[in-house]
Amino acid sequence: ATNKWSLYASDATAPSYFAGNVGIGTTNPGMPLHLHSTINNFHAIRITAENTTKYWDIVKRGNTYPEPDNFVIAYWNGASWQEEFQITPAGNFGMGVNNPQTKLQVAGNIYTSTAGNGLILKSPNGLVCRLVGIDDAGNFTSTPIVCP
């Protein structure tokens, strides 16, 4: 016999409580909330708004994908997927990039919105850092700073 459980609350303020770990798609949850899917070797949480065909997915890819085991945040605009963020098992982070090859890889411009901010570069020996930016005339600046 198969056990089937349903949860229903007639009052939106009614408390809910589960003692221990909860599993969806697994009979042996290893965390407070453990999600597992064998469908397309793809594990996801979908976030939607009411009455819309657009949504976000938070995804852990499986080994049948070109970038196996990457963590992805993707947006479905109603017609096509846009993979906005990816993190690889090596810790590389991509924005608008599939399978980033460096610690930060961005498809597009990077903008610092606070005046005086810029890019901090560290020397190969790690002892010297400089803040690279621009002045009000648009000239490049390079200011020595204490390495973070």
The per-residue pLDDT string of the chain (148 residues; one tens digit each, 9 = 90 and over) reads: 455 555 656 666 766 667 778 888 888 888 888 887 777 666 778 888 877 888 898 888 777 777 778 889 989 898 998 889 999 999 999 999 888 999 999 999 888 888 888 999 999 999 999 999 999 999 999 999 999 8
* Contact call for residues 115 and 124 (beta carbons, < 8 A): no
Quick one: how far is CA 135 from the chain centroid?
Answer: 34
% of the chain with per-residue pLDDT over 70: 86
- Token pair recorded at residue 40: 């397309």
Give Cβ neighbours of residue 42 (< 8 Å, ≥ 6 apart).
Answer: 59, 61, 62, 65
- Paired with 132 in beta bridges are 119, 142
Q: What is the pTM of this model?
A: 0.69
**76: part of which helix (H) or strand (E)?**
strand 71-76
Question: Which is nearest to 89 in space by CA: 75, 98, 99, 97?
Answer: 99
CA distances to 2, 51, 57, 106 from 29, in Å:
18, 32, 21, 35
pLDDT of residue 10: 66
